[in-house]
Amino acid sequence: MTAIALATACAVVYGAADFYGGLASRRSQVFAVVVLSQLAGLAFIACLLPVLPGEGGTAALAWGMVAGLAGGGGLIFFYRALAIGTMSVVAPVSATISAGLPVVFGLAVGERPAPAALAGVALAIAAVLLVSRAPAQEPATRGLGPLALAAIAGAGFGGFFILLGNAPEDAGPWPLLGARIASILMVTGIALASGRGLRPAPGSLRTIVLAGVLDMAANVLYMFAVHRGLLSLVAVIVSLYPASTLLLARQVLGERLTPVQVAGVGLALGAVALIAAA
């Protein structure tokens, strides 16, 4: 598969993972959701490592662990934002920031995408902004709290993408093992130090596990995509994951889509096509 195809699949799976993680966070403590979903992801990647190409090593695990600290911190803020805000608003805000940081970094280190690809990047960011528009009659963000949390989460996710993209190309998914170990230790430590419970609400464990497995599957797709294409392009495609979250929120929770949001989904498809054709 090409880098763009892998990144597109990654975006779809990330969106589903975020939906189920946010759904679980409305019933259970955020720290319980993050820790248990991360443990599920750790078990999943441990099963995949023997069958996927890649070589582990100190550098691979080190880059992964640093990335895991950034991503794990972002996930705490993100799930909290999803729990108190509207999914179809929170997800695009974090995605816009998590896309912008890798683009800036990629250009700064010398990546030079084709003009058509840059046009696709601009279209993708516009798509995310349109998708983030909530119906005017709904108090979508309930104040500035969810938006601020989503912005911090986006910075964490952007750092995660950048750091994983710097792992050795022959490492395959091994950095993800380091990332999961570091994030689990960090989040568990914070939870214990702050007296937060890690027991999920009754009936929510299955949703939490599903979120963790989907998140790790998306991470694997990202690792293979970023080593086959430019970080500045792959990260932008991946950032379109709110479209998947939004559609699931529409189908499962009944969150309404405005014509502007529908137009945003259409622009997202156009952005993928432009970048793929470049």
Residue-by-residue DSSP string for the chain: --HHHHHHHHHHHHHHHHHHHHHHHTTS-HHHHHHHHHHHHHHHHHHHTTTS-----HHHHHHHHHHHHHHHHHHHHHHHHHHHS-HHHHHHHHHHHHHHHHHHHHHHTT----HHHHHHHHHHHHHHHHHTPPPTTS-TTSSSHHHHHHHHHHHHHHHHHHHHHTS-GGGTTHHHHHHHHHHHHHHHHHHHHTT---PPPTT-HHHHHHHHHHHHHHHHHHHHHHTTS-HHHHHHHHTTTHHHHHHHIIIII-PPPPHHHHHHHHHHHHHHHHHHH-
Distance CA(231)–CA(62), nearest Å, equals 19
pLDDT digits (tens, 9 = 90+) for 149-161: 888 998 998 899 8
Region class of 2: left (phi > 0), else alpha (psi between -120 and 50), else beta: beta
* Residue 1 binned pLDDT confidence (cut-offs 50, 70, 90): low
Nearest to 95 by CA among 209, 233, 241, 210: 241
Nearest to 63 by CA among 235, 225, 188, 182: 182
Q: What number is the average pLDDT over the span 182-188?
A: 92
Nearest to 178 by CA among 164, 161, 162: 164
Tell which wins on pLDDT, 42 or 117: 42
pLDDT digits (tens, 9 = 90+) for 65-124: 999 999 888 888 887 887 787 766 777 777 778 878 888 888 888 888 888 878 877 887
Instruction: Report pLDDT for 278.
Output: 61
Distance CA(19)–CA(79), nearest Å, equals 9
Distance CA(198)–CA(104), nearest Å, equals 37
The CA-CA-CA angle for residues 208, 214, 220, to 5°, reads 140
**Total structural domains in the chain?**
1
Mean pLDDT, the chain, whole residue set: 84
Residue 51, pLDDT above cutoff 80: yes
Instruction: Report pLDDT for 88.
Output: 65
Instruction: Report pLDDT for 102.
Output: 85
Cβ 252 vs Cβ 87: under 8 Å:
no
Distances from the Cα of 74 to the Cα of 71, 105, 107, 201, 263, angstroms: 5, 18, 23, 22, 28
Instruction: Report pLDDT for 7.
Output: 92
List Cβ neighbours of 70 (8 Å cut-off, separation of 6 or more).
156, 157, 159, 160, 163
Instruction: Report pLDDT for 49.
Output: 92
pLDDT digits (tens, 9 = 90+) for 128-175: 777 666 554 444 444 447 878 888 998 998 899 899 888 888 888 899
Q: Which domain holds residue 180?
A: 3-277
Instruction: Report pLDDT for 276.
Output: 67
